[in-house]
Amino acid sequence: MRELVLTRHNQLVDPLVHVWGWEIAVYLFLGGLVAGMMILAGYSFLKGRHTIDSCVCSVLPGAGLVLLSLGMLALFLDLEHKFSVWRLYVTFKLASPMSWGAWILAAVYPALLASALVRLPPWARARWDRLDRLAQQVASSRRSVVTIGAVNMALGIMLGIYTGILLSALGARPFWSSAALGVLFLFSGLSSSAALVHMIASRVDERELLARADNVFLSVELVVLGLFLIGLVTSTQAHLDAARLVLGGPFTAVFWVLVVGLGIAIPLILQVLAVSHVTRHNAVVPGLVLTGGLILRFVIVYAGQYSHWQ
């Protein structure tokens, strides 16, 4: 009888988790990727790097808009009541992570559009004269550039943390019940965005700078991931059982080989050698980082649905 009550309780408390699949993992990955790109672009604006010819910051806002829209599409596909999603944007509940996320995403779009005016790509300048004149006015005002950069960095941090808080707020799954998820997803998003920008940057000095930054992000990500696991194994029995999903359980090989090994440790070692000029930079390492960041979301989303309190 007790087991029947617990089963019914779990079904009532957490009915959505049982249908979460690839859409949520992709949404969390793309959201973190855009968050990192906003932080990197905002930093470039604050440092005045937008005045440099061929600065990669000119393509980040447009790429961010496309990637975020794809992430929102993935989220929309996962929704059960798709045509009621508008309600999230006309109400605000202080204690609801979904409400915070909806309004953060609503603010991200205009912030990305504003950052696009700081450094318009050449094709946009040639096609739209009025937009080019507006962009020149924005770029000529140091106060406007600093404001746009600061807003993008702040919203990027909020968006990156939110992608982890979205899961950690669902207390029905002990694998997700950790405050470290917000920080983990933030630095994973920063690492993935630095890897992506490293691949598309045309300037050697920018690639060098991004590789050094990515080494820091990967190191912090590795530490936070370790703290996340330590927090699980030193907590309740349910948390310990949840940790065993990646410590000898069904997700162990994928987690340690594809996420920790190929997605963090090996890229970190290779990039340390590259920035030390022992080896050359190549596109393989950023590709591994991006793949590891995506698989990390899949592992956490699916492992969380396997964990339970009983």
Model pLDDT for residues 120-134, shown as the tens digit of each residue: 777 776 677 777 788
Q: Pick 101 or 160 by higher pLDDT.
A: 160
Chain Cα centroid distance, residue 82: 23
Give φ, ψ of 84 to 5 degrees: -110, 5
Chain Cα centroid distance, residue 294: 9
DSSP conformational letter for 202: -
Q: Pick 243 or 51 by higher pLDDT.
A: 243
pLDDT of res. 126: 65
Model pLDDT for residues 200-229, shown as the tens digit of each residue: 888 888 888 999 999 999 999 999 999 999
pLDDT at 11 > cutoff 80: no
pLDDT at 78 > cutoff 70: yes
Name which of 48-57, 66-75, 160-169, 197-206 the model is least confident about: 48-57
pLDDT of res. 298: 95
Does the domain at 16-306 match CATH 1.20.1630.10? Answer given as yes
Quick one: tokens of 65?
Answer: 């808009």
pLDDT of res. 7: 38
Torsion sign across C-alpha atoms 156, 66, 27, 243: negative
Average pLDDT over residues 149-177: 90
